[in-house]
Amino acid sequence: MQITRRTFATLALGAFLAACAESASSADRSAVSSGPVPSDWDAVLSEARGQTVNWYLWGGSESINRFVDDTYGPVLRDRYGITLNRVPIADTVDAVNQVLADDQANNPRGAVDLIWINGENFSTLRDAGLLLDGWARALPNASLVDWANTAVNRDFGVEVGDLESPWSSAQFQLVYDTARTNVDELPRSYAQLLDWACAHPGRFTYIAPGPGAFQGTRFVKGALFEISGDASQWQQFDQALWDRWAPELWEYLHGLSACAWRNGETYPKDEAELHRLFANGEVDFTITQAAVGASALIADGLVPTTAKAFVFDHNSIGDFNYVAIPGNASNKAAAMVLANLLLDPSMQAAQIVPANGFGLGYAIDPAQVTEPAARRALDEAAAALGSGAADPSEMAAALVGDAAAPYQDLVESGWRRELVGGL
């Protein structure tokens, strides 16, 4: 008895240590790779077979995590022999820092193979020359992307070039509760929003702009666009333009904060906090970026089932999300296969269906898809957007591109200085 118990304990300990060794080494496991060339796609596929692609992406939404694991993971494994290792990070800055650290350590086998990236983080890595160039537009499915569209070929005003491949799209929307607020009473511009907020003191707030809270930054930029009367002028960075309009922006926001939740003394620090305030009836609006509007939030249990998205008549900022491959990535071929898979029409259709929980919009131009099965998949997905979605034609009519990247920091640090007067 004593002996069998001891044997069992030894075996269990051994198995556990093996699991530990696995988890300890997985961070370091990688194979050296020469740079594959996507124009020779078969060579890329054969090099990718057997690789593990370490995809760093924001891990804050469990429905997105699940979508990534369940949708791309099995296809990569079964069709291409690639293992997907999704690395969840609290903020994309962490992936950027990892790439910078690998570079500083002269590590040719970097930990990051693919990053879900956007805007400021993209321009940081681009300016440091740490991104793989000359692959995105050569991917087989890149032909479905409308590269001529400035919303696609510029990421926060920065030339995308051949450094990034699009994954999905997002557009700024507000969410209200149809059980609480009548659709006719909704504000349809920033000016009306100010009136609404002061008619309903304490019932409106937005997310404090800052790192990890870009929806708040986007809300403020939308106000800037409306106040200045022209969204397109912000595509190029111009300090004088900023200096001209910033005072009026702060004046507007001060007016808003006087009527806002907690008299504008504080603001929710992230999406989750604003959703919680909205769901519990502390405020009447929340913010989303999803193509399916509130539907994904409803499916997640974050907001009441009666929630619905809407947009202002103008200046609803939209953009594309991209993936990029660091120059020091260990598994470049597998990263390219994954980036190409993301653009596959069946995958694009899957990502807008609310039940799948991803809820961001297309990266491809659906009009370019002619193959019948793929067409059908896209049409079916479009028909299933759910009750929480905003009117697609209103969204399209209000869509504008985001401002150039340098404005991001001006808005965030300026907001902190002017609106909260602190660090």
Partner 1 sequence: MKRDRRRTSGRELLGLVPVLLVVGGLSIAALVDALASSISAEGSDAVGLAVFRTVLGLPGFWASFWFSLYVALSGTLLATAGAVVLGHRWCTRPRGRRTAQTLLHFNLGVPHLVWAVALVALLSPSGWLSRVTSLLGLDSGIDGFPVLVNDPYGIGIVLHLASKELPFVLLATLPLTGVATRRSLAQGATLGAGTASQIRHIYLPAIAPVLIPATIASFAFGLGGYEPGAALGVQRPRTLAVVALEWFRSPDLTMRHRAFAVAVVLMATVALASVVLLAMTRSWWTMRATPHRREGVRA
Partner 2 sequence: MLVLGVQAVSVRWFFPEVIPHSLTLQPLRSTVTDPNVASSFVTGLCLSLAVTSVAIVLAWPAARTLAGVGRGLGAAVVGVLFLPSLLPAVGLAMGVDVMLIRLGLAGTFVGVLLAHLVPTLPYVVAVLTAAFARRDQRIEAQAATLGAGPLQRLRLVTVPSMRGALMVGAALGFVVSWSQYTMTLLAGSGRVVTLTMVLFAALSGGSPSTVAVLSLLVALPAGALLAAAGRMSGDPS
Question: DSSP assignment, residue 117?
Answer: E
Whole-number Cα distances in Å, 26 to 16, 54, 57: 15, 10, 17
**Out of partner 2, partner 1, none, which partner does residue 412 contact, by CB within 5 to 8 A per kind?**
none
**Region of 155-163, 186-194, 233-241, 297-305 interacting with partner 2 (CB under 8 A):** 297-305
Residue of 37, 41, 46, 65 that binds partner 2 (CB under 8 A): 65
| Interaction of residue 53 with partner 2, rule CB under 8 A | no
| Nearer to partner 1 (CB atom), residue 372 or residue 422 | 422
Instruction: Scan for tokens 């009836």, then name that residue.
Output: 281
**Out of partner 2, partner 1, none, which partner does residue 267 contact, by CB within 5 to 8 A per kind?**
partner 1
**Out of partner 1, partner 2, none, which partner does residue 417 contact, by CB within 5 to 8 A per kind?**
partner 1
Reported in sequence order, the residue ranges of 163-315 that DSSP labels E, i.e. its strands, are 164-171, 173-177, 286-288, 307-310
| Interaction of residue 31 with partner 2, rule CB under 8 A | no
Task: Give Cβ neighbours of residue 252 (< 8 Å, ≥ 6 apart).
Answer: 190, 194, 223, 227
| Interaction of residue 24 with partner 2, rule CB under 8 A | yes
Q: CA 259 to CA 252: how far, in whole Å?
A: 11
Q: CA 418 to CA 246: how far, in whole Å?
A: 10
| Interaction of residue 282 with partner 2, rule CB under 8 A | yes
Q: What residues from 120 to 179 belong to the interface with partner 2 (CB under 8 A)?
A: none
Following CA atoms 188, 190, 191, 195 in sequence, which dihedral angle do they give, to the nearest 10 degrees?
A: 80
Following CA atoms 96, 115, 140, 155 in sequence, which dihedral angle do they give, to the nearest 10 degrees?
A: -60
CB of 204 to partner 1, least distance (A): 14
**Out of partner 2, partner 1, none, which partner does residue 96 contact, by CB within 5 to 8 A per kind?**
partner 1
String marking each residue 202-231 x if it binds partner 2 according to CB under 8 A:
----------x-------------------
DSSP string, 239-252: HHHHHHHHHHHHHH
Residue of 6, 12, 29, 69 that binds partner 2 (CB under 8 A): 69
**Region of 74-82, 186-194, 237-245, 264-272 interacting with partner 2 (CB under 8 A):** 264-272
232-260: buried (b, 16+ CB within 10 Å) or exposed (e) per residue? eebbeeeeeebeebbeebbebbeebbebb
**Out of partner 2, partner 1, none, which partner does residue 95 contact, by CB within 5 to 8 A per kind?**
partner 2
Nearest by Cα to 116 from 172, 173, 155 = 155
In the complex, the residues that contact partner 2 under the rule CB under 8 A are 16, 19-20, 23-25, 27-28, 56, 58-62, 65-66, 69, 86-90, 94-95, 97-98, 101, 104-105, 111, 212, 270-272, 276, 279-282, 300-305
